[in-house]
Structure formats: structure tokens, C-alpha cells
Amino acid sequence: MNKIIGSTGMKLAYAYLNSNPEKNIPKLMDWVDRLAINNVMEGQRKAVRKIIEDKDSNWYKLILSMWTDVDPGIRKTFFDNFILKTFIGWPIQEKNREKYGCNIPWTILMDPTSACNLRCTGCWAAEYGNKMSMSYETLDNVIQQGKELGVYFFIYSGGEPLVRKTDIIRLCEKHGDCQFLAFTNGTLIDEKFADEMLRVRNFIPAISIEGFEDATDFRRGRGTYHAVIRAMEVLKRKKLLFGASLCYTRYNTEAIGSEEFFDFLIDKGVKFAWFFTYMPVGADAATDLMVTAEQREFMYRQIRHFRQTKPLFTMDFWNDGEYVQGCIAGGRRYLHINANGDIEPCAFIHYSDSNIHEKTLLKALQSPLFTQYHRNQPFNDNHLRPCPLLDNPGRLTAMVEASGAASTDFVKPEDVRRLSDKCVDTAEKWAVTAERLWGESHNCAGCAQCGDKAQKAVG
């Protein structure tokens, strides 16, 4: 079945959809439903069907914009490598989870280099310099191993991953059946690189921006905002698919969560946005950038509100825990490999007991630290408190100490207890807000989504 979907079936499905998207999107969903092995991703398919039935909705407009705003080759590759490969890869991942008794990720995040051309306030990479990198051969091997486990989606971070843009393009060429994304500051995107993106078709940037000019340049340096805008203009003009990466802090939350900023992103051509809250990772990390409980609730409400009105796909790394049943780290849906090869549960959890130069991905997923994640997830029945560090004091400490994992910080190794202590006050205040929000949205006496956990959460 996978071979049929992967060749003739996939080509016919896209050709059918592309010939008349408005007419054929609903018919294609019927095809997807019939081919869904073991009713895979039933909830997600129902959500898509609900969207396409309302042709006046913002979501339907976003889908159709893929035909008006995006290059046909980029659009088809995204359809092949991301949408349908998710359906192909998911059953393989599930089978391997059962076979090996451990988490198997949906995506792998890796850092080609620790080097960066900026020095952003509060970013640990600013301290690392260019002292660490993974070779092309190592990156290639990680991708090969991932594909064997059913993973076809790979994300780059750093440092600034586009410092390695030549190798990134080579990997896109070699692994044409995979979708690649990079969290990038955007300043290295130019006409030449955009043309390379058009050529390989399977690379998408998520450009970091802190809000408007003052907020962006405050954290990232004078002139960064205008460099980001230039990059977005190039990408939009060439009809390339791209998104935004947004870190909300105590000083920019209200701007990032404003309707004005959402409209600004849409106008610039952004199709998706990842939202992250600031984490005080690193021995000298600034704790005053951490958001208040009120600000986190503001983002919770704003993002959900704009999902009903704006043609922009949004993901909130912390506040969307309820949609994925808690924490997705530790290989449950993703893991992180830093530029030194250390295999970490999360980009924000700099502790490890495995290195890609010494262990395979599978062995790392079966290691004591990743086993701790597998056994302990979810860390809270209230999935608005998903994180073992930011939301549940002591949970990360217990797992790191039980597994014998060590700090991977290259400059100043940080004791996990000291890191956790920085988050206790914030976690305790958010707990009160999170319980109220959870009660508001799950006062259902045991709904189909949450079962008995809903009853526990509200009473």
C-alpha cells in the first residue's frame, strides 16, 4: 500500500487536486480517508474535513492561497514530502514504537553548526561561537537513520543554520523524498539562495522576528529587522513557502500577540508561525525575559482567537500541549541533536547521555534519559502544563539525575537543580492560571478527547 501511495497514487492524487482545487479538495479527502491504514490520524483528518466544508473560513482561504501565492513546484513537493509522507511515515513510527518499546519521533531537529552571525540577547548560541559543527556526512547519516524509522521531516536550528547553506542544499538534493525546514534569523537569505530553494523545492525557512523594528533590533542588533524584511520580500516575490519563528518575552508579548502584527505577517507572505516562550537556558541566561502568567494567558487567548479569523497556520510550542497530549520532546514527537552531536530530549533541555558519534538514533531513544521521558510523559494531566522544566518543578531534575545525564552546555555546564530553580516561581504562578483555563475548556465530564483525565483536571 505504501508503495502504491508513494508512486502512481500520489501523482494521480496531486494531479487531480491541482486541476481544480476548489472542486476536488473534498473529493481528495474521501480518498485519503479510504487509504488511512488502521484509521491513522482520524482526529486530524476530521479537522481538515471541517475546514474544507466552510468555504468562507480563514483556513479554507489559507489552503487556496497555496495555489495563488506558492510556486507550483514548491507546492507539489510540499504535498509529496510533507502531507502524504506524514501519512506514510506515521504507521512506520507507530510500528517501531511498539517493536522497540521506546519513543520514535515524527521529526528530528539538528544543529549543523554552533556558529551565528548575530549575538541575540538571551540566546545560548551567542556564547558558543563557531567551535562546534556536524559534518555533512554526519548530517546525512542522521537523515538516513531517521528515514529507516519512518521520519521524513527534518528541521535545522543552531547557531545560524544557513552558515552551512551549501551543505543544507546538498542534503536537500540527496534526500529529495524528505521535507526540510530551518529556524533562521533570515539575514543570510538572498536572491541566490532563494533560487537554490526554488531548484531543490524541499526547503522551507522559518524566519525569527521579535515583533516590529524596535523589539527585533533590541534582541538581535540594529539593522536586523530590515534584513529580515528584505528576506521576506525576496521569498514572497519568488513564490517560495516560508514561515516565522516568534519568541515572546516579557518585553514583546503584547506586540507579537497583536492583530496588527498577525496582519503584518500575512501581508509579508508568511504562511505559518511557530510561537515559543522565552526559556532561561544557560548559566548566565537573563531571567527577566521570562513572561508572566498573564502574558502567557494573553498569547493562549490571542492565538486561539486568530485561528478562527486569520489565514495563518499557528503553533504555540507550550500552550498547544492540549492538542498533542502534553510534552512532545524526548523523541515522543521530536528530539534535538546539537552541533557537538549530543542527542538531547529538547532544544531547551541541554542534558544528554548519548552522542550521535557514539550511538545510533535508536540506541539513544532507548537510553536511560529518553526512557525516563517515555515512562513519565505526560508530565501533568493538565496538558496546558506540558513541560518538565517550565511547568512542573522537579520533574526534569528527577529524570536527569535518575538517568545520569550530563549538561551539554559547551561554555558553562549548568546544574539541573539550578536551572530548575530559575523556573519555580514562574511555574507556580502559571499553574493557577493553567488550572482555570483547563477547567474552562474541559468542563465536559470526560470528553472524547481527554476521557477521565478531563474529570480529574476540573475536580
Q: Are residues 210 and 120 in the same domain?
A: yes
**Which residues of 213-371 form beta strands (DSSP E)?**
243-248, 272-277, 313-316, 334-337, 343-344, 351-352
Find the Cα–Cα–Cα–Cα dihedral 134, 136, 138, 144, rounded to 10°.
Answer: 140
d(CA 163, CA 175): 20
Q: What is the DSSP string of 354-396?
A: -BTTTS-HHHHHTSHHHHHHHHH-SS-SSTTS--TTTTSTTHH
Domain span including residue 33? 1-53
**Which residues of 249-357 form beta strands (DSSP E)?**
272-277, 313-316, 334-337, 343-344, 351-352
Decide if 153 is inside a domain.
Answer: yes
Q: Are residues 231 and 166 in the same domain?
A: yes
Q: Are residues 32 and 149 in the same domain?
A: no
Could you count the other beta carbons within 10 Å of the beta carbon of residue 318?
22
Q: Are residues 104 and 41 in the same domain?
A: no
CATH code of 194's domain: 3.20.20.70
Between vectors from CA 277 to CA 373 and to CA 428, what angle results, nearest 5°? 70
Q: Are residues 132 and 237 in the same domain?
A: yes
pLDDT digit of tens for each residue in the chain (459 aa)?
555 455 566 667 778 888 888 888 777 777 777 767 677 778 778 877 887 778 888 988 998 999 999 999 999 999 889 988 888 899 999 999 999 999 999 999 999 999 887 777 766 565 555 678 999 999 999 999 999 999 999 999 988 999 999 999 999 999 999 999 999 999 999 999 999 999 999 999 999 999 998 888 888 888 899 999 999 999 999 999 999 999 999 999 999 999 999 999 999 999 999 999 999 998 888 899 999 999 999 999 999 999 999 999 999 999 999 999 999 999 999 999 999 999 999 999 999 999 999 999 999 999 999 999 999 999 999 999 999 999 999 999 999 999 999 999 988 899 999 999 999 999 999 999 999 999 998 764 444 444 444 333 322
Please give the tally of structural domains in the chain.
2
The residue out of 334, 366, 398 marking a domain boundary is 366
Q: Are residues 174 and 252 in the same domain?
A: yes
Whether the CB-CB separation of 456 and 381 falls below 8 Å is answered with yes
Could you count the other beta carbons within 10 Å of the beta carbon of residue 106?
18
Whether the CB-CB separation of 352 and 382 falls below 8 Å is answered with no
pLDDT in tens, 191-239: 999 999 999 999 999 999 999 988 888 888 888 999 999 999 999 999 9
Decide if 85 is inside a domain.
Answer: no
Decide if 437 is inside a domain.
Answer: no
Task: Please give the single-letter amino acid code of residue 172.
Answer: C
Decide if 238 is inside a domain.
Answer: yes
Q: Are residues 39 and 102 in the same domain?
A: no
DSSP at 291? P
Q: Are residues 241 and 357 in the same domain?
A: yes
**pTM, full prediction:** 0.90
Q: Are residues 98 and 47 in the same domain?
A: no
Task: Please give the single-letter amino acid code of residue 399.
Answer: M
d(CA 379, CA 390): 11
Decide if 456 is inside a domain.
Answer: no
